[in-house]
Amino acid sequence: MIIHVVRQGDSIYRIAQAYGTSQDKIISDNRLVNPEVLVPGQTIVIMVDSIPHTVTRGQTMFGLARGYRVSLNDLIAANPQISDPSRLSVGQVINIPTQTRKLGTIDVNGYAFPNINRTVLQDTLPYLTYLSIFSYQVRPDGSLIAINDTPLIEAARQAGVAPIMVITNIEEGASFSSDLAHTILTDLQVRENVINNVVNTLESKNYFGLDIDFEYIYPEDREAYNNFLRAVVQRLRPLGYTITTALAPKTSGDQPGLLYEAHDYPVHGALVDHVIIMTYEWGYTYGPAMAVAPANQVRRVISYAVTVIPSKKILMGMPNYGYDWTLPFVRGSAARSISNMEAVELAARVGANIQFDQTSQAPFFNYYANGRRHEVWFDDARSTQARLRIVSEYNLGGVSYWTINRFFPQNWLVLQSMYDINKVL
């Protein structure tokens, strides 16, 4: 795999010629909507095992290996037609290997809403270990609001992907509720009702496991949440179900804030099978323009997490979206959510060049509309690759995508080139 960054004057024809592949394959792999229009700074993923290099005067195998950052042994092995690697001729074509050794096998979770497009779902399932269907909302009496999850469960199991039931403290018709969480966690009868209803749903719907995504819990309910987890684990583990929790991205155990304080990393790490750390939303709807998941900030969170949670239990959050902000930022104003592919299409439409921020390892661009300046941050193959390297760097269990409802082909091309995907079914 090669990540090509488009330059001024590039065309799919020229890119295909340079890497010894076909235009149709590049267009198909990247699912380019308008391949005739490329944006400077846009990434194109080239799925080739090697690229041709024409030898010029003075070049050696050793020098080519260093220049292309491949091992000399791999370069020699890729060119069995060369009888004497110490002697190259001007004009001779050398195959430069691009296939690097994979970094290991990881778990991949994808959150999906029940209304996901079925084609998108089918295209994504081959890359997943788990499909987490979002979500069963818990009512104040411990009952669950039903969702149309049966088609997704069946599709997942047919594809060898483990379906995961998700429960949330999202208030009916509203958002995450601290008061609802307090009721669920502190009223023992409600807690028992929740667990009974979860078990019934797991069994009747043929789920593989449970994901608990309780957010904005009052700090004083921290131990009540821990006790709730203990009760869930005690009930579900003998039945053979996996248990996962979703956690806010913390950089210390005492990090202040309603989102963070009740999420007890060490206790979750000790009790459950997986923790999904939601390493995204630095750039968010009501905040200033910045990368959604800056690699430097993600690394800070993971650096702390692995000190208190077994690294193999951690699934690092991966966003699958970007934002379009209107500038200057005004507190209370809202950015527009945009898919990664839509971001590139927008850049092409407005004539913007895509830039890449080295600190956050993320692409962005600016444009004007109706006299107002806009700034767009999103993900491309480079930012995806940068964060996926953190998984190997910290020996994590894998990644979790929020959400898979929009298909981003470059993400899956990069992921598949870097890791093998674990299957538990």
Q: Please list the active-site residues.
A: 215
CB atoms < 10 A from the CB of 331, how many?
7
The 3-state DSSP class for residue 259 equals coil
With a CB cutoff of 8 Å and minimum separation 6, the contacts of 393 are: none
Alpha carbon distance 309, 249 (integer Å) = 13
Alpha carbon distance 24, 19 (integer Å) = 13
Q: How many CA atoms lie within 13 A of 301 on its CB side?
A: 27
The letter for the amino acid at 231 is: A
Q: Which is nearest to 96 in space by CA: 47, 52, 46?
A: 52
With a CB cutoff of 8 Å and minimum separation 6, the contacts of 356 are: 5, 41, 362, 363, 364, 382
Tokens representing 80 are: 């069995």
DSSP designation for 238: G
Alpha carbon distance 111, 122 (integer Å) = 14
Give how far Cα 181 sits from Cα of 137, 169, 210, 219, 353, Å: 11, 6, 17, 11, 45
With a CB cutoff of 8 Å and minimum separation 6, the contacts of 365 are: 41, 343, 347, 352, 353, 354, 355, 375, 376
Strand ranges in 327-397 using DSSP code E only, listed in sequence order? 336-338, 355-357, 362-369, 372-377
Tokens representing 161 are: 């992907």
